[in-house]
């Protein structure tokens, strides 16, 4: 039986879902349109540590150049890295290619449909596997990103600071995840966190869960989620060598893949 809170949120999502280029909206889903697993996966990789606003243009360019996973798998590394330039966290682009080639070569160009099988692909972790399984294949998986953590922290007034609270928040989110429309529900919670239950200025008066929100009832919604005190980052020192020819050309080297800024050009050191 679906939790009443899930029903309330899905009704809100049906009316207020964000229009995103990789998303099949609730009305389209009801009309029989299904999400493209390739676009769901590509968007989730791009959105890691990157805002929706920044990703939109990159996503459109990628799907124009490489409209499916087979075409991306056949792309040259340098071309993909060039298109990725500006998004940052370049290990994501390298893992994107590894994953695309694994799907093309080992899975006949078809994405696995379960979280367990998706986790076996290179570059896909628990969050991305759950997101693709739920959104693309409507599997009843619990999808928990930073937005969902914040919503759950406030809804249930979780006092445990992050990151220690993560298992508790996942358990609470799992309780609410419905067997029906799990893909829409996953996107609904993320939309709620991104547009209503925001970190600094939550629009509680517009929130469909405001009547059930324990933190709001206690007047503590701005205090949650709590976060553990950050430890000081170590200071590291190194030496780089600069060499320049008489014609003005600089000597650079390709950094090792598993190091900081792996596979990028940099000064020898």
Q: How far apart are CA 206 and CA 119, in angstroms?
A: 36
pLDDT of 161 above 70: yes
The predicted pLDDT at position 1 comes to: 53
The predicted pLDDT at position 261 comes to: 66
Question: Taking the model in full, what pTM does it have?
Answer: 0.87
Mean pLDDT of 109-118: 97
- The catalytic residue positions are 44
Mean pLDDT of 169-188: 96
DSSP state of 211: G
CB atoms closer than 10 angstroms to residue 230: 6
pLDDT of 258 above 80: no
The predicted pLDDT at position 123 comes to: 92
pLDDT of 193 above 80: yes
Quick one: tokens of 44?
């989730």
Q: How far is CA 80 from CA 39, 98, 139, in A?
A: 16, 12, 30
Confidence of residue 263 (pLDDT cuts 50, 70, 90): low
Q: Which residue has the tokens 């007034």?
A: 157
Show Cβ contacts of residue 88 under 8 Å, excluding neighbours closer than 6 positions. Answer: 49, 50
Mean pLDDT of 160-170: 96
The predicted pLDDT at position 159 comes to: 95
The predicted pLDDT at position 195 comes to: 96
Confidence of residue 121 (pLDDT cuts 50, 70, 90): very high
Q: Whose CA is closest to 69, among 99, 106, 38, 90?
A: 38
Set out the domains of the chain in order of their start, with CATH numbers. 4-139 (1.10.340.30), 142-176+196-229 (1.10.1670.10), 238-269 (no CATH)
- Per-residue model confidence as pLDDT tens digits over 136-146: 999 999 999 99
Mean pLDDT of 82-109: 93
The predicted pLDDT at position 252 comes to: 86
- Per-residue model confidence as pLDDT tens digits over 4-62: 999 999 999 999 999 999 999 999 999 999 999 999 999 999 999 899 999 999 999 99
Q: Whose CA is closest to 225, among 249, 202, 205?
A: 202
Average pLDDT, the chain: 93
């Amino acid at each position: 039986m679906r939790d009443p809170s899930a029903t309330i949120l899905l009704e809100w999502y049906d009316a207020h879902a964000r229009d995103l280029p990789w998303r099949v909206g609730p009305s389209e889903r009801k009309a029989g349109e299904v999400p493209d697993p390739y676009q769901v996966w590509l968007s989730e990789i791009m959105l890691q540590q990157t805002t929706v606003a920044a990703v939109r243009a990159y996503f459109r360019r990628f799907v124009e150049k490489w409209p499916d996973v087979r075409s991306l798998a056949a792309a040259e590394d340098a071309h993909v890295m060039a298109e990725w330039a500006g998004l940052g966290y370049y290990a994501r682009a390298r893992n994107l290619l590894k994953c695309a080639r694994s799907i093309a070569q080992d899975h006949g160009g078809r994405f696995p449909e379960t979280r367990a099988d998706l986790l076996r692909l290179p570059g896909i972790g628990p969050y991305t596997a759950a997101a693709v399984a739920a959104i693309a294949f409507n599997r009843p998986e619990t999808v928990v990103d930073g937005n969902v953590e914040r919503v759950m922290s406030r809804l249930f007034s979780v006092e445990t600071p992050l990151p220690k609270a993560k298992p508790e928040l996942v358990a609470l989110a799992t309780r609410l995840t419905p067997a029906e429309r799990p893909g829409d529900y996953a996107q609904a919670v993320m939309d709620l966190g991104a547009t209503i239950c925001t970190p600094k200025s939550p629009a509680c008066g517009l929130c469909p869960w405001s009547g059930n929100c324990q933190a709001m009832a206690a007047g503590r919604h701005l205090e949650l989620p709590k976060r553990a005190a950050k430890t000081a980052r170590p200071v590291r020192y190194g030496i780089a060598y600069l060499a320049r020819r008489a014609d003005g050309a600089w000597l650079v080297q390709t950094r090792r893949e598993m190091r900081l800024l792996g596979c990028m050009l940099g000064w020898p050191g």
